[in-house]
Structure 1
Amino acid sequence: MGKTSKQVDEHNHRIITVHVVPRASRSEVVGEHNGGLRVRIAAPPVDGAANEELIRLLAKTFAVSKSDISVLSGRTGRIKQVRIDNLKS
């Protein structure tokens, strides 16, 4: 991930900044954006649907379970801090 995230620490987790674009035609990681990731999400930002889709997409992308992904801040905004646990170095 290079500049997009902090290094994996001794606890095998990483905190990344994610810029989310909801209501996209499909869910995908687009690339880097201001030192974080830019992610398009097909789900609308209603009742947590976009956050759930973001967690599903990041879990698939980083090959971890959905329970290893948590949104630390920005639950109702487009810019989020996300923690990913159990990463392989």
Structure 2
Amino acid sequence: MSVRLAVRVTPKGGRDAVDGWSPDEAGRPVLKVRVSAAPSDGAANAAVVALIAKALNVPRSAVRIAAGETSRLKRLEVEGATAADLAQAFGAPP
């Protein structure tokens, strides 16, 4: 069981936090995430993976960046999580 999750990352955002859901340009729900790490050497990606894993109470190895390694808009795959887990951790998407 796995779930896909679209996130919009703000690197060097001052703190590591999830800012909630917002629609993207096409109206699809995207989770807004800010991390304090800079986007160099994969530090921001690692911080995003750690933040999402902690929020969903899964190991970091269960969270994988499926698309958007170098983009602010990323698609994550989380093994061992369900849509209900996402709704519980981040609220229901709009």
- TM-score band by shorter chain is 0.7 to 0.9
Aligned residues: 78
**Percentage of pairs with the same residue:** 32
Could you list the per-position Cα deviations for residues 40-81 of structure 1 after superposition, in whole angstroms to 9, with x for gaps in the alignment? Answer: 011000010000000000000000000000000100010000
Q: Which has the higher contact order (CA 8 A, sep 6+)?
A: 2
Q: Distance in 1 between matches of 2:75 and 2:81?
A: 17
The answer to which structure has the higher helix fraction is: 2
Gaps of 5+ in 1: 1-11
Identify the residue that residue 63 of structure 2 maps to in structure 1: 69
- Give the CA RMSD over aligned residues: 1.0
TM-score norm. by structure 2 comes to: 0.80
Q: Distance in 1 between matches of 2:57 and 2:76?
A: 15
SS at match of 1:67: helix
TM-score norm. by structure 1 comes to: 0.84
